[in-house]
Amino acid sequence: MKVALACDYLIEKNYQTKVLESLVLLFPYSEVFTLVHKVGSVAGPIEQRKIHSSFLSHFVKNEDDFWKWSLVAPGAANNLHIPCSFDLIICIGSGFASMISHCKTTPKISYLLSDHKWWPEKKGMRDKLFRSFVKSSVDKGIKDSRVIVSANENIFDVKTDAPKEVMFPPVKIDRFPLFGKEQRKLLKASYWLIDESSYDATELGDLISTLKENQVAFRLLKANEQDGNAKGEYLGDDHLAPVMANSKGILIGSKKIFSDLAIKSLACGRPVIMSAQSGLSFFFSDSEGTAIYGQLTDLMKWISHFDAEEYRPEKVRGQAMKFNDIKFKIGWNKYAEGHANKVII
């Protein structure tokens, strides 16, 4: 089976590229189509595939650039074409990839990881008009899908008759075990972890000041080794697992749509406290071991609550299991078997 994997852009390692990497490994004969490709920016399995990109690659160097050039994204997507030699097209991202021109006899599945609500807000009337134009173009591309799959049920925003399903994004949690009850008694949970990249500079500064004032010990983590601007430490899974097992839990800010660090913390039976503005909050609702805060005062109340360890680690780990990478691959195998090589009437 030959699968075309389309994504919004390949500029740096993030939530989207981790999902794409899982699908690249699942479909060994796949090729990648994207509006923007910065060569070498996502080193690994993705860069080993044949990558097709649009003229925007000459102008866009980072994510901020992408949003500046988003007005011409519909034109760039129309000039990039996925030929009829593919058996299935899977479009990954916030909908931009779904605009890419393609052979109409090839079934297309759109996998939405976020929607237009997460696009950076622009102030001027001209910007708002252009934003409306881009959104309508994105919606048209999504409607052209055989099936629309979303990372969580809160993303669906397009009116279409196409079936809508939910598939949680993948996280490799096999190296993050839950220790037995006797082993947990030996752990010295003395610090909270912070996903630094989930906070903007002001938000992070306020958080650290509050934690220090309340004498709460913490450690900063960064999700990607390539993030040179972050002060936190980057740890590979083998080193990260014991750090998480020895922690009290992890804090997630408003900036991130998703945090695999949070899921790995849950896998170790450790709580997650997330900002109400974080995209991660859409994945959890009144789940044991997870909490949502609006103000820093609320955050401190939750920290005190979880410091008392009034939760069941086994139940906390259960929250992580729905993001299991293996479950994700089984699900997409079924989608491919069910939809590939079917002619759209």
Domains and CATH numbers, the chain: 3-170+325-339 (3.40.50.2000), 181-321 (3.40.50.2000)
The pLDDT, as a whole number, for residue 1 is 86
d(CA 331, CA 192): 34
pLDDT digits 0-9 by tens, 83-128: 999 999 999 999 999 999 999 999 999 999 998 888 887 666 666 6
Tokens representing residue 103 in the block:
């052979």
Percent of the chain with pLDDT over 70: 92
- Mean pLDDT across the stretch 35-55? 94
The pLDDT, as a whole number, for residue 344 is 40
The pLDDT, as a whole number, for residue 115 is 86
The pLDDT, as a whole number, for residue 223 is 81
d(CA 55, CA 87): 26
Looking at per-residue pLDDT, the higher value among 1 and 265 belongs to 265
d(CA 162, CA 80): 24
pLDDT digits 0-9 by tens, 276-315: 999 998 898 778 899 999 999 999 999 999 988 888 999 9
Task: Tell me which residue has tokens 């103000």.
Answer: 295
Asked if pLDDT for residue 341 goes beyond 80, the answer is: no
d(CA 211, CA 253): 14
pLDDT digits 0-9 by tens, 193-242: 999 999 999 999 999 999 999 999 999 998 877 666 778 888 889 999 99
Within 10 angstroms of residue 342's Cβ, the number of other Cβ atoms is 13
Contact between residue 155 and residue 115 where contact means Cβ atoms under 8 Å apart: yes
Identify the band that residue 179 occupies on the pLDDT scale cut at 50, 70 and 90. Answer: confident
- Mean pLDDT across the stretch 133-153? 92
Asked if pLDDT for residue 184 goes beyond 70, the answer is: no
Asked if pLDDT for residue 157 goes beyond 90, the answer is: no
Could you give phi then psi for residue 37, rounded to 5 degrees?
A: -135, 115
The pLDDT, as a whole number, for residue 45 is 93
pLDDT mean across residues, the chain: 90
Q: What is the pTM of this model?
A: 0.90
Contact between residue 26 and residue 42 where contact means Cβ atoms under 8 Å apart: no
Query: Smallest Cα–Cα separation from 141: which of 166, 109, 167, 165?
Result: 109
Within 10 angstroms of residue 193's Cβ, the number of other Cβ atoms is 26
